[in-house]
Each structure stands twice: as structure tokens, then as C-alpha cells.
Amino acid sequence: MEDTKNKITFFKRLKIAIFNLEDFGMFLGERLSVAFKYFFMLILLITIITLSVETFDFSKRINKVYDYVQNELPDFEYKDGNVKFTNNVEAYDRDYKFRLFINTDEKVDDNIINGYKSKIYDNGYGVIALKDKVICIS
């Protein structure tokens, strides 16, 4: 009986654990090292799947930001530690619930900044870019 337990592959064990719960009792008599090996392999499989999905999602986000910067963001220049855009920007992405505010005017009132913050807090997270600093809110 011990030889048949050791010959069961990881994926067969996984299939038994998910679909054939009545046969799960055959694993109860195994050594602790076999259980740890199975557990480690299961965690490794879940990690690989999760990382693949997150990497794909992150690459979609990066491509979306790159396209936005290339095609829709107004012209800007950076000089003496300050950035200056040709006009102010207010953008919202519904897919990721992300807001972007760019205001590079010489003097930006605290009420305007607080208005930006309240819009961000209402819908998710975002960035406020001013001429000399960037505020990230999540």
C-alpha cells in the first residue's frame, strides 16, 4: 500500500483532493514529509499562477499609461526643478478607478488641491502633479 501512495503524482493528488473527497482518506496515513512536499508544490503552483496573472495585468496598465502619455498628455517642459504643462489636465480611468490631476500654475490654492483630493477619495486612488511636487493618494 505504501508503494502506491508514493507513485501518485502531484496532479493526480490535486485531482483527488478536489473532485474525489471520498478517496482523500488514503492520504491520512502518509508521513509528514510527503504532506509538506505536497503542500509546498501546491503553494508553488498557486504562486506561479497568481504572478502570471498579476504580471499580465501590470503590463496592460503600463501600456495604457504609455499610450496616454504619448497620445493625450499635453506638451510639457522641465526646467530648474519645475515642470510646466501647456494646459491643466484632469483624467479618470474607469477600468482602474484612477484619477490624474496636473496643475502647473504658478500659485495653486489649497482649496483646489483639497477638491482634487476629495475627488480621488471618492473614486479610488490617484495622483496630483503640481509644478514642484507630486501627491500620490491611495
In tens, the pLDDT along 46-90 reads: 999 999 999 999 999 899 888 887 888 888 888 887 778 888 888
Q: What is the pLDDT of residue 6?
A: 53
Write down the mean pLDDT value for the chain: 84
CA distances from 106 to 44, 84, 97, 131 (A): 53, 9, 29, 7
The residues that bridge with 99 in the sheet, in sequence order, are 92, 126
Higher pLDDT, 97 or 123: 97
Most confident range, picked from 41-50, 66-75, 114-123? 41-50
Q: In this structure, are residues 78 and 105 in contact, taking their beta carbons and an 8 Å threshold?
A: no
Separation CA 98–CA 95 (nearest Å): 8
The alpha carbon of 5 is separated from its chain's Cα centroid by a whole number of angstroms, namely 40
- Give the residue ranges of DSSP H helices in 1-138: 2-6, 10-19, 32-71, 110-123
Q: What is the DSSP string of 69-91?
A: HHHTSPPEEEETTEEEESS-EEE
pTM, two decimals, is 0.59
